[in-house]
A and B are shown apart, each in its own frame.
Chain A
Amino acid sequence: MRAAVLGTGQTHHAARRTDVSMAGLCREAVDRALEDSGSTWDDIDAVVVGKAPDLFEGVMMPELYLADALGAVGKPLLRVHTAGSVGGATGIVASNLVRAGVHQRVLALAWEKQSESNAMWALSINPPFHMPLGAGAGGYFAPHIRAYIRRSGAPNHVGAMVAVKDRRNGSLNPFAHLRQAEITLESVNSSMMLWDPVRYDETCPSSDGACAVVIGDQAAAEASARPVAWIHATAMRTEPTFFAGKDHVNPQAGRDAAAALWQQAGITDPLNEIDAAEIYVPFSWFEPMWLENLGFAEEGQGWKLTEAGETRIGGRLPVNPSGGVLCSNPIGASGLLRFAESAMQVMGRAGAHQVPEAQRALGHAYGGGSQFFSMWVVGAAPRP
């Protein structure tokens, strides 16, 4: 059965949304998604909530206490947690409920209110019997970035170029946390080296934010007065965090997920057939790394697309026209934001960061130790 995104909503993301409670943050996104999709509360058959670790907010399974605020009382309520990929997984689980014919219209919500605690703390809790080396996500991923640079021979400025592009794109997005129209290569390169080789300006912020998407069946999509985003394909793949021979730079799980995705979407040449891509890039260098992992470029060649400017709006493959994770990172929501932004592109509702005439777009998320991947392809028209 077919399914489509009927509408999306997101919060104004910020380091500290101290004007709202957790429920208030979620509702800001949900209310916008209901309105954008032309749905009422009664139209919603089920609610799927995604969020990263509960330790971030200090609430165990917060969707339980949020059931009233989310209009979930009397309805099925699912809570997905697949680490950083959870936002994407949330969108996929919600779409599956529709595609399986179980429900007609499902609300997917993903959120994180990181200012309730400190993500570096929560991600660096050191269990006994281990080396106390945890240094947040940056400390985890920086060595893999170093390995990418060594393997690909990419010039050092590529990471900074991604940061400049994404932050400038973010300045076009009214919801972005960081909106830096004035950022330059020089300013990125003079920012503090946090986790060598990753500089401050090449790092995602820590954000409060939420994203919601209403997914409907074919009848709901055809009845919609506004354009919808048809879901052409979805894929999720997992591999272990560490294993002998693991490729942290170009993980097999990501390659397998992409291959399955392109096949399901009927795409043989993603670089030419995808018009916009929202890719989970929490550290600038992950743009070229994921371009390769997703099959937009040969191994070791992804940085050339970035360096040539092909990933800017107007390039062959605009990547993260919304500004992406580098501009807003409410961790649990970040994946669904990628999925929602890809839908906004093909619905023609991306505003100032709209990629002209985007017909097919990719939404992508990853999580854990580059081990959980979730992705979808959406299109302005149903898949033939």
Chain B
Amino acid sequence: MALPLHAPLEISFDYTRSLGPTLSRFMTGLAQRRIIGSRDSTGRVHAPPIEYDPVTHVASTDFVEVSATGTVLTWTWMPRPIEGQPLTHPFAWALIRLDGADTPMLHAVDAGSASAMSTGMRVQVRWAAEPVGSIRDIACFEPLSTSETEPGGEVEPVTMVTTPIRLSYEHTASPEETRYLYGLAEGRVLAQRCPRCRKVYIPPRGACPTCGVPTTDEVELPDVGTVTTFCIVNVPFPGQRTKPPYVHAAVLLDGADIPFPHLILGCPADEVRMGMRVQAVWKPREEWGFTPQNIDHFRPTGDPDAAFESYASHL
């Protein structure tokens, strides 16, 4: 038995975050190289500001500017920074209480080495070259020196921030699915039968969804089947792989007990019918991999349509 197949899965999106009044105040301040905090009902000042009072729960309305210098309350050292962090060379993470604030902010300190870090050390903001109204306008903190950056002038209020989130995963196929993917790589359609209910699953399953046991007995299926139902996708959207319009159909391969999703081409979209008999059109062998995309699409066979009763229990 081949080991389960793995493949990378990337997830990437630039999230657009609207800020609301409190965070807008803070981000607008950053764009001016100023740090705006909020004062809560107990008199404590929080920088960054908090949106709702921790005691009364009402929205914050009392804003105060705090200093761009502060004190490290605790820290740790990041010897090998990971993607997206403020610095690409080793740096410290720290909770920093800015002068004029009572509670700390979390940020990076560019200190050169861990030995340069200590609790209680004084630090100052290093501003990004071109602030835009984002927490990353604070490029990082650095040990306090005498040089100061003058705040910038007035800017348009910042009401949105864009936050790119990119994550990389390793996707794993189940052992049963792996058998099927190896089959596809050889141009074969390998299903498996559930040992309890005897239904034939394509792809095979780590658990038969009705019995909760892995499918086992291998069944080779023909690449011919019946369209049970379908939709014509006309709508474009981010990340789409096939240019619309295209027909996304459920194809009940002969001998299977569950339809197999695929594309129908080879006839105008509006001629695709429930009950239409279709056959797989394989890509050239040299393009085959461990994927159902080895089948480029299904095309009509031209045979008479299957009777409704033959697929009615698969809708």
Contacts and interface: CB of A to CB of B under 8 A. Distances in A.
B307 interface: no
Interface string A114-146: 011110111011111111110110110011101
Contact of B231 (A41, A117, A196): A196
A245 interface: yes
B149 interface: no
A352 interface: no
Interface string B54-93: 1001010000000000000000000000000000000000
A223 interface: no
Contacts of B292: 129-131
Interface in B207-247: 208-210, 228-235, 237-242
B248 A133 contact: yes
Interface in A80-133: 115-118, 120-122, 124-133
A23 interface: yes
Chain B at the A interface: mostly helix, strand, loop or mixed?
A: mixed
A24 B51 contact: yes
Nearest to B237: A120
A16 B233 CA distance: 25
B151 interface: no
B257 A244 contact: yes
A20 B232 contact: no
Nearest to A55: B11
A150 interface: yes
Nearest to A194: B235
B232 A196 contact: yes
B201 A127 contact: no
Nearest to B311: A147
Contacts, number: 182
Given A135-B248, A194-B234, A245 B11 contact: no
Contacts of A247: 313, 315
Interface in B123-181: 159-160, 163, 165, 171, 173, 177, 181
A198 B163 CA distance: 33
B274 A147 contact: yes
Nearest to B210: A243
A192 B237 contact: no
Contact of A115 (B18, B20, B59): B18
B190 interface: no
Given A130-B292, A131-B293, A243-B209, A193 B232 contact: yes
A248 interface: yes
A192 B234 contact: yes
Contacts of A240: 209-210
Contacts of B262: 131, 133
Nearest to A34: B57
Contacts of B19: 21
Interface stretch (B1-9, B31-39, B113-121): B1-9
A136 B11 contact: no
A73 B228 CA distance: 52
Nearest to A115: B16
Given A57-B15, A133-B263, A147-B315, A21 B233 contact: no
Contacts of B18: 16-21, 115
B106 interface: no
Nearest to B24: A21
Given A21-B18, A143-B231, A143-B249, A245 B314 contact: yes
Contacts of B200: 244
A248 B210 contact: no
Nearest to A23: B51
Nearest to A131: B292
A23 B53 CA distance: 12
B5 A24 contact: no
A128 B17 contact: no
Interface string A220-262: 0000000000000000000011111111110000000000000
A326 to B, nearest CB: 17
A59 to B, nearest CB: 9
Residue of A17, A117, A243 with highest tally of chain B CB at under 10 A: A243
Given A139-B233, A244-B258, 8 more contacts: A55-B13, A116-B17, A118-B238, A128-B173, A139-B231, A193-B232, A245-B313, A247-B315
- In the A-B complex, the 5 residue pairs with the smallest Cβ-Cβ separation, listed nearest first, are A142-B231, A240-B209, A128-B7, A196-B232, A132-B241
Interface of B: 5, 7-9, 11, 13, 15-23, 50-52, 54, 57, 59, 159-160, 163, 165, 171, 173, 177, 181, 197, 199-201, 208-210, 228-235, 237-242, 248-250, 257-258, 261-263, 269, 274, 290-293, 308, 312-315
